[in-house]
């Protein structure tokens, strides 16, 4: 699939890889936390599928190095850098303008409840939340902003930001690349032909903690944030 046919295609990471390749993948990773608009786009599944296509992506962009491992490393490193920059932008936005968002009305692209969820997640897990949030859709979009709002130490944030971005990008991209090779070599299964199932599994696995929290977790009182301009500390 190389063409956009319906809004449902927006959830298919293969669309972005085939239409925009290396640079579009990096932009989506950056936008998810740097522009706060990427939470509805594929994140974890995009990285996993990018790993499957890693050699092709690097070959089309820069020319192949001749090494699968090196090509995959280049892609994972670039994605990690985009993720780090996106988080830093989100953090500084939180420092400067974040508190005002608690009085902002919901729009199609901005839902205040996600900001509350990220704040509660940050308060519960502390600095480790910056690392953990990388693996949670929606939460990772707003956690950097919340870190800025609560004035987390800049050096500590950068440290955790780098750790989380590197773990997230390398684990998912290398998993995609080498699981594809493993399934092909051992079982004769081409994962490129099973992408729909893979995407569904990844979405279920990564969103399950968020769903469980929403359905069974203790309801937090967010009224204390509703009518104030102060930092939600």
Neighbours of 89 (CB within 10 A): 19
Q: Report d(CA 24, CA 30) in Å as an integer.
A: 10
pLDDT above 90 for 103 = no
Collapsing DSSP to helix, strand or coil, 105 comes out as: coil
Beta-carbon contacts of 169 under 8 Å, excluding residues fewer than 6 positions away, are: 29, 47, 76, 77, 79, 80, 83
Q: Report d(CA 176, CA 211) in Å as an integer.
A: 24
Could you tell me the pTM of the whole model?
A: 0.79
Looking at per-residue pLDDT, the higher value among 44 and 168 belongs to 168
If pLDDT is split at 50, 70 and 90, which confidence band does 14 have?
Answer: confident
Collapsing DSSP to helix, strand or coil, 222 comes out as: coil
211-233 per-position pLDDT tens digit: 665 555 555 555 544 544 444 45
Looking at per-residue pLDDT, the higher value among 213 and 168 belongs to 168
């Amino acid at each position: 699939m190389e063409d956009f046919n319906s809004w449902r295609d927006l959830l298919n990471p293969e669309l972005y890889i085939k239409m925009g390749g290396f640079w579009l993948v990096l932009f989506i990773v950056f936008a998810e936390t740097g522009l706060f608009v990427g939470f509805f786009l594929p994140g974890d599944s995009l990285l996993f599928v990018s790993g499957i296509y890693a050699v092709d992506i690097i070959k089309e962009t820069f020319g192949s190095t001749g090494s699968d491992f090196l090509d995959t490393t280049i892609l994972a490193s670039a994605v990690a850098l985009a993720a780090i920059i996106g988080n830093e932008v989100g953090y500084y936005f939180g420092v400067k303008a974040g508190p005002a968002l608690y009085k902002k009305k919901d729009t199609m692209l901005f839902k205040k409840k996600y900001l509350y969820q990220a704040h509660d997640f940050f308060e519960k897990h502390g600095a480790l939340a910056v690392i953990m949030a990388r693996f949670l859709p929606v939460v990772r979009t707003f956690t950097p902003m919340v870190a800025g709002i609560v004035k987390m130490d800049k050096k500590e944030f950068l440290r955790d930001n780098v750790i989380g971005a590197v773990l997230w990008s390398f684990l998912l991209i290398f998993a995609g690349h080498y699981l594809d090779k493993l399934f092909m070599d051992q079982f004769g299964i081409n994962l490129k032909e099973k992408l729909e199932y893979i995407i569904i599994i990844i979405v279920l696995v990564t969103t399950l903690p968020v769903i469980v929290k929403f359905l069974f977790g203790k309801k937090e009182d967010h009224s204390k944030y509703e009518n104030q301009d102060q930092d939600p500390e």
